[in-house]
Amino acid sequence: MRCYKGNRFGDLSNLQLCETDPLFTRSSEYGDVELSGVDAHPYFDFRYVSSAEVTQAGEHYYMFYEGIRGPEELEAGSDTQFALGLARSINDNIDGEWERFEGNPIIMDMQFNWLIGHGDFIVINGISYLFTSTSIDTRGRYELVWEE
């Protein structure tokens, strides 16, 4: 997960890398090509880390992100697996080091699921909601309770 700083409304070529770059790294290996479900969890974000949603709760920032696992030649094919990941800033510095949640992926096991929904996050009247897939054909709404 790369980190850039600067005026996001200005000329994007003027953005600079943060002192901590990347904020955190994806899985370093694909694992056995036959793996799926729970067996594929350690590799859930091998190909891409994308579609981040960030919020601050207490002394940390939290990021929900889509992890994609799929060999490049199968990237758009039926063997591509998607899952939702969670990461947290080490402290209250959004541009500093982050840590991936050891229990990733969250909510669902690895599977072919184009509808993961990128972990859409919103706060309404002080209540935090996460919208994402709960199965291959169902969207769910989760009310989050933040504990430090």
Nearest Cα neighbor of 20 from 4, 43, 7 is 4
Which residues are CB-neighbours of 124 under 8 A, at least 6 positions away?
Answer: none
Provide the 3-class DSSP secondary structure of residue 88.
strand
User: pTM score, two decimals?
Assistant: 0.82
pLDDT (0 to 100) of residue 15: 94
The per-residue pLDDT for range 89-140, each reduced to its tens digit, is: 999 889 899 999 999 998 887 776 655 556 788 889 989 998 887 776 777 8
pLDDT (0 to 100) of residue 78: 57
pLDDT (0 to 100) of residue 115: 54
pLDDT band at 32 (very low <50, low <70, confident <90, very high): confident
pLDDT (0 to 100) of residue 113: 61
d(CA 19, CA 101): 22
At CB < 8 A and 24+ separation, what contacts does 44-47 make? 44/69, 44/81, 44/83, 44/85, 44/104, 44/105, 44/110, 45/69, 45/83, 45/85, 45/104, 45/105, 46/70, 47/71, 47/72, 47/75, 47/80
The per-residue pLDDT for range 47-93, each reduced to its tens digit, is: 888 888 898 888 999 999 988 887 665 555 556 778 889 999 999 88
Tokens standing for 105?
A: 């992926």
The answer on pLDDT for 148 being more than 90 is no
Mean pLDDT of 29-56: 86
pLDDT (0 to 100) of residue 100: 93
